[in-house]
Amino acid sequence: MSENIFSTSSISLSKSAVRQNVRFVKKKLADNVLLSAVLKGNAYGHGIEFMVPLFESAGVRHLSVFSTQEAQQVCQVKKPTTDIMIMGWMEDEETEWAIKNGIEFYVFEMGRLKAAIHFAKLLNIKARIHIEVETGMNRTGFEENYLEEVIKVVKDNLDHITLEGLCTHYAGAESITNYLRVMDQIDTYKKIYKQFTENELIPKRKHTACSAAAMSYPETQMDMVRIGILLYGFWPSQETLIAYQRSNGYGQEGVRKVRHPLKRVISWRSKIMSVKEVPVGEFIGYGTSYQAPKKMKIATVPVGYAYGFARSLSNQGRVIVNGKRVAVISTVNMNLMIINVTECKNVGKGDEVILIGSTGKVKVTVASFGELSNQLNYELLSRLPIDIPRGVVI
């Protein structure tokens, strides 16, 4: 666990869960498809400095981040043989650092392409670029009217550029409602790739797939996939999970429910701060959102929305105390929450509170948080503060 022992909660990361999730994803990939583990958002809230060696120990040798800052964090802990790819934010002047350190990076505007060429010439080191193209997401990526110019500039500077990849991103592959849009994007990408190859530009890797696309649209796996949420033990959406189960026969006559193949990497724990009894009819906490329907025993837990436990979980959330799943009552405060421990025997100060995790068959998952608060797995995880102590368990 982190050296900071003075904390109101702690996070544990399971090494065996990482290995299991990597194995599962690799089994679902076609032959010779490279797996790139995505570490954006502080490794989906898990902690970059912890997840890099965990992924490497599971055989992952390519890592994707959003920014130069994240790439620098990865560089501090990765093995020399592991590659890094920046998919998003990078100041033009930061391009020099990326090239000098052999970092791959997306290029989706002319300014960055020209900066890559400029610093590559200055350093006499080839820039390892991935050209991102617009296929219908309408976020980042070169639009069709820029492609002719991009192709010309790249061809004219192949002494200074290595075309590591041609990439795009799908607009919601986790939902069937986006099916036609995704299929249109796949077609558009194929046409753009053909345009590059007809101009004698062959990228080392075609890559377009995130977790949802890799699972639901196998044809998008191509040469490399950028997998995030699956590797942490979560499905991109309930639809993606159902699609996986159906593809394995679940729902057909005589087929049992498909066992959940992923294992949660993260668990989050705190302790009870105090316990007290409240008479029937009393309001509990701020305002009047919760009134005791009977004589109650309540406990306070020193974790609130400032620590990643959303205020929207007021009167909604669940935690585990002494093997029982209990309710969060009243308004979640900045620094603490109140829980109903009326049915818990021998509960007292210092007893463990499981915020995410399980004991025996009783569990509280990030997915259940999402269902209760209308938040995504991604949002809840990435909001977990960096300063919560984290440690690796088997």
Query: Could you tell me how far CA 87 lies from the centroid of its own chain?
Result: 14
Phi/psi for 320 (5° steps) reads -115, 130
| pLDDT tens across the length of the chain (394 residues) | 444 568 999 999 999 999 999 999 999 999 999 999 999 999 999 999 999 999 999 999 999 999 999 999 999 999 999 999 999 999 999 999 999 999 999 999 999 999 999 999 999 999 999 999 999 999 999 999 999 999 999 999 999 999 999 999 999 999 999 999 999 999 999 999 999 999 999 999 999 999 999 999 999 999 999 999 999 999 988 888 888 888 877 767 666 666 779 999 999 999 999 999 999 999 999 999 999 999 999 999 999 999 999 898 999 999 999 999 999 999 999 999 999 999 998 999 999 999 999 999 999 987 666 655 556 678 888 999 999 999 999 9
Confidence (pLDDT) at 82: 98
Q: Do residues 341 and 326 lie in contact, with contact meaning Cβ atoms separated by under 8 Å?
A: yes
| Residue spans per domain, the chain | 32-247, 266-393
Q: Which CATH class is domain 32-247?
A: alpha beta
> 266-393 — its CATH code?
2.40.37.10
Judge whether 87 is annotated as a binding position: no
Q: Do residues 385 and 6 lie in contact, with contact meaning Cβ atoms separated by under 8 Å?
A: no
Confidence (pLDDT) at 2: 45
Distance (Å, whole) CA 219 – CA 279: 61
Q: Do residues 54 and 18 lie in contact, with contact meaning Cβ atoms separated by under 8 Å?
A: yes
Residue 32 CB partners (closer than 8 Å, separation 6+): 223
Q: Which residues pair with 321 in a beta bridge?
A: 324, 353
Judge whether 139 is annotated as a binding position: yes
For residues 313-322, b (16+ Cβ closer than 10 Å) or e, as one string? bbbbbbbbbb
Q: Do residues 245 and 228 lie in contact, with contact meaning Cβ atoms separated by under 8 Å?
A: no
pTM recorded for the entire structure = 0.94
Distance (Å) of CA 251 to CA 29, 38, 189, 273: 24, 32, 34, 46
Q: Do residues 236 and 228 lie in contact, with contact meaning Cβ atoms separated by under 8 Å?
A: no
Return the closest-CA partner of residue 379 out of 234, 210, 261.
234
Return the closest-CA partner of residue 86 out of 39, 118, 126, 122.
39
Distance (Å, whole) CA 220 – CA 4: 43
Confidence (pLDDT) at 252: 72
SS (H, E, C) the chain: CCCCCCCCEEEEEEHHHHHHHHHHHHHHCCCCCEEEEECHHHHHCCCHHHHHHHHHHCCCCEEEECCHHHHHHHHCCCCCCCEEEECCCCCHHHHHHHHHCCCEEEECCHHHHHHHHHHHHHHCCCEEEEEEECCCCCCCCECHHHHHHHHHHHHHCCCCEEEEEEECCCCCCCCHHHHHHHHHHHHHHHHHHHHHHHCCCCCCEEEEECHHHHHHCHHHCCCEEEECHHHHCCCCCHHHHHHHHHHCCCCCCCCCCCCCCCCCCEEEEEECCEEEEECCCCECCCCCCCECCCCEEEEEECCCHHHCCCHHHCCCCEEEECCEEEEEECCCCCCCEEEECCCCCCCCCCCEEEEEEEECCEEECHHHHHHHHCCCHHHHHHCCCCCCCEEEEC
Q: Look up residue 15 and give its two tokens.
A: 């090494």
Q: Which residues pair with 267 in a beta bridge?
A: 12
Q: Look up residue 16 and give its two tokens.
A: 């065996």
CATH topology agreement for domains 32-247 and 266-393: no
Confidence (pLDDT) at 111: 96
Type of residue at 129: I
Tens digits of per-residue pLDDT, 152-195?
Answer: 999 999 999 999 999 999 999 999 999 999 999 999 999 999 99
Distance (Å, whole) CA 158 – CA 117: 9
